Amino acid sequence: MGAVTVRVPAKVNLHLSVGARREDGYHDLVNVFHAVSLFDDVTVREAEGFSVARDGDEAAAMPADEDNLAVHAARALAREAGVESGVELHIRKAIPVAGGMAGGSADAAAALVACNELWNTGLGREELVEVAGGLGSDVPFALLGGTAVGLGRGERLSPALVRGSFHWVLAFAREQLSTAAVYAECDRLRKERGEEAPRLRVPRRLMAALAAGDAEALGAALANDLQPAALTLCARLRRTLTAGRENGALGAVVSGSGPTCAFLAGSERHALDLAVALSGAGVCRSVVRAYGPVPGAQVVPNPED
Ligand code: C5P
């Protein structure tokens, strides 16, 4: 087989409750993931060693070779499946790097699916999910896609019931945020304010809004415990969120550890108006529209064939 291309979506977090820090340094979560139509394409070809090349709008900031999570993923799968050869990865990047949209995790999930196909390993979906969980908390969701509740550190997933689709406007920031730094800031702020970690519960109102396809109720139910920490580390996101709310967003939230902000619109038309208003307000680096939910990592025809 010559080359395999896999298309993989970004995620936004519709709800993120962060529990107390565990002994292993992670936090238990209730994390409602939602895959949106902003995609990276990962192409793999048989090669001697492991390497990664990149292009696309968001490629410049992407880590090279050994620091790239997609390379770790390919190596992990080779070990698991007893494959001796390497791969050359090519990533067409549209998901912002260190943006709170799980772009690195998405590329890792895509690399797993693509290499699994290229090497014809015979490993099934469940075995891939197992390898994915070892690579990062958000990698299993990038395999699954759709909308799902993640427990544990986010890797124990169950699909959510969703009616129809939702329209989003995403504001990319000029800054990047390290996930670990945002969790650490969340712990620090709680300590400083004498706050306890919340009891972790699946958000009923939000799940009902998803099942009913009710964008207004969903907008009102968006929540993210990491948002105060992201706003402390990146103060200008306040202006971005305010600009979205002032222009009629049904909901405005920092996605995951940020700094990307996600705005829920009531219709495609509303999303277009909101995107134009946010671009004009000069409160972010760039603005894209997307819809969700969309499926997880999938093999697609190679664009060069
Ligand atoms: O799992 P992943 O490598 O994506 O996590 C990056 C960092 O985010 C972890 O090293 C940890 O500091 C933090 N994290 C956490 N609790 C989680 C997920 C991530 O503290 N549930």
Q: What is the pLDDT of residues 11-50, one digit of tens each?
A: 999 999 999 999 999 999 999 999 999 999 999 999 999 9
| Identified catalytic residue from 40, 41, 138, 225 | 138
Contact 8, 69 (CB under 8 A): no
The residues near 131 (Cβ < 8 Å, ≥ 6 apart) are 73, 76, 77, 80, 112
Q: Ligand 1 centre from 26 Cα, in Å?
A: 6
Tokens describing residue 103:
């772009």
Report CA(136)–ligand 1 centroid distance (Å): 7
pLDDT computed for residue 61 by the predictor: 86
Q: Is residue 183 lining ligand 1, measured as CB closer than 6 Å? A: yes
Which residue(s) pair with 11 in the sheet?
35
pLDDT digits (tens, 9 = 90+) for 80-89: 999 998 999 9
Looking at residue 1, its pLDDT comes to: 62
Q: Tell me: the pLDDT tens digits for 220-251? A: 999 999 999 999 999 999 999 999 999 999 99
Q: Is residue 11 among the annotated active site residues?
A: yes
- 143-157 per-position pLDDT tens digit: 999 999 999 999 999
Q: Distance from the CA of 181 to the center of ligand 1, in angstroms?
A: 9
Return the half-sphere exposure (C-beta side, CA atoms, 13 A cut-off) of residue 94.
Answer: 17
pLDDT band for 303, please (50, 70, 90 cuts): low
Residue 177 has pLDDT above 70, yes or no: yes
Pocket test for ligand 1, best of 72, 179, 185 (most atoms within 8 A of CB): 179
**CA-29 nearest atom, ligand 1:** 21
CB 137 within 8 A of CB 13: no
Looking at the predicted structure, is the pLDDT value of residue 298 above 80?
yes
Q: What is the pLDDT of residues 181-196, one digit of tens each?
A: 999 999 999 999 999 9
State the distance from the centre of ligand 1 to the C-alpha of 1, rounded, in angstroms: 36
Q: Whose CA is nearest to atom 12 of ligand 1?
A: 180
Residue of 182, 178, 283, 179 whose CA lies nearest to 230: 182
Enter the pTM of the model: 0.96
Which residue puts its alpha carbon closest to atom 2 of ligand 1?
Answer: 136
pLDDT, mean over the chain: 96
Q: What is the predicted pLDDT for the residue at 282?
A: 94
The reply to whether 214 belongs to the active site is: no
